[in-house]
Amino acid sequence: MGILEAVVLGVVQGLTEFLPISSTAHLRAVPALLGWADPGAAYSAAIQLGSVVALFAYFRNDIVTLAVGAFKAIRKGAIDTQEARIAGAIIIGTIPICVLGLLFKPILEQNDGPLRSLTLIGTASIVMGLLLLVAEKIGKHTRKLDSIGAKDGLIIGLGQAIALIPGCSRSGSTLTVAMLSNLKREDAARFSFLLGIPATTLSGLLELVHLFKDQPANLSVPDLVVGTLVSAIVSYAAIAWLLKFLSSHSTWVFIVYRIIFGTTLIVLSSMKMIH
């Protein structure tokens, strides 16, 4: 991998981690379309740390408010405060993806395994696009973030676990389930981002450790650093843009994109034009 590839993959990661279109799918598909080698599941997870840095930077005030508020609530025994409920929902919502991620880790990390199939990724993209369409149609879009509770955290957390399948999109699956739970689009996206902080941080750190431990022949630390830095910058911009966009627009553009993207992957893969 060279600097150019690292920059391109950093941009792809930054754009697609938070837009509901699947970063894993694009980190697998873009190199295939450009004739590059698959960067691998470990590299893809490692440069997620750039997106994690962007999350902490953008939501730093929210994180401090939730942490301090939850701590005070626990100390006073008043755990029904808004901060305690949202923090509790994030903790509960993180459990499903952690448990299933550890259980299926060997399968998820197979670079040549069935989950890296472009046909599967394309199919997952289409299916999740259609589910987002359902959420857009039947969701009432009336609830705000301050109404989130433990039940919401568990349900949306189960949606997050679906994103272990490449092509589903962590932000896309959580946004879909949150909208089905009648949250407003912008509030659904905000909770999706906050919910993703623990999971993406743990995933990125674990894969970074494994990446350096295994030290594959094609590992280049400078390229990894460049990809991660670019990912952080683009991720921050993507977060800000999406929250503003969803405050006054629907998710239709992402629904259409997912269906076209998935169909293109399936067709090109079946015709052996990409591998």
d(CA 249, CA 259): 19
Note the pTM of the prediction, 2 decimals. 0.91
pLDDT of the residue at 77: 80
Amino acid, single-letter form, for residue 17: E
Rounded to 5°, angle at Cα 127 from 35 and 9: 30
- Determine the pLDDT at residue 217: 60
Which positions ≥6 away from 158 have C-beta within 8 Å? 96, 177
pLDDT the model gives residue 28:
85
176 closest CA partner among 193, 195, 156: 156
Instruction: Report in angstroms the alpha-carbon separations of 71 from 11, 68, 78, 83, 149.
Output: 37, 5, 10, 9, 17
Tens of each residue's pLDDT in the chain, 275 residues: 688 998 999 999 999 999 999 988 898 889 888 888 877 766 777 788 899 999 999 999 999 999 999 999 888 887 788 999 999 999 999 999 999 988 887 787 676 667 778 899 999 999 999 999 999 999 999 999 999 999 999 999 999 999 999 899 999 999 999 999 999 999 999 999 999 999 989 888 887 777 777 666 666 788 888 999 999 999 999 999 999 999 999 999 999 999 999 999 999 999 988 87
The three-state DSSP-derived secondary structure of the chain is: CCHHHHHHHHHHHHHHHHCCCCHHHHHHHHHHHHCCCCCCHHHHHHCHHHHHHHHHHHCHHHHHHHHHHHHHHHHHCCCCCHHHHHHHHHHHHHHHHHHHHHHCHHHHCCCCCHHHCHHHHHHHHHHHHHHHHHHHHHCCCCECHHHCCHHHHHHHHHHHHHCCCCCCCHHHHHHHHHHHCCECHHHHHHHHHHHHHHHHHHHHHHHHHHHHHHCCCCCCHHHHHHHHHHHHHHHHHHHHHHHHHHCCCCCHHHHHHHHHHHHHHHHHHHCCCCC
Sorted by sequence, the CB contacts under 8 Å of residue 43 that are 6+ apart come out as 9, 211, 224, 227
Token reading at 107: 């399968």
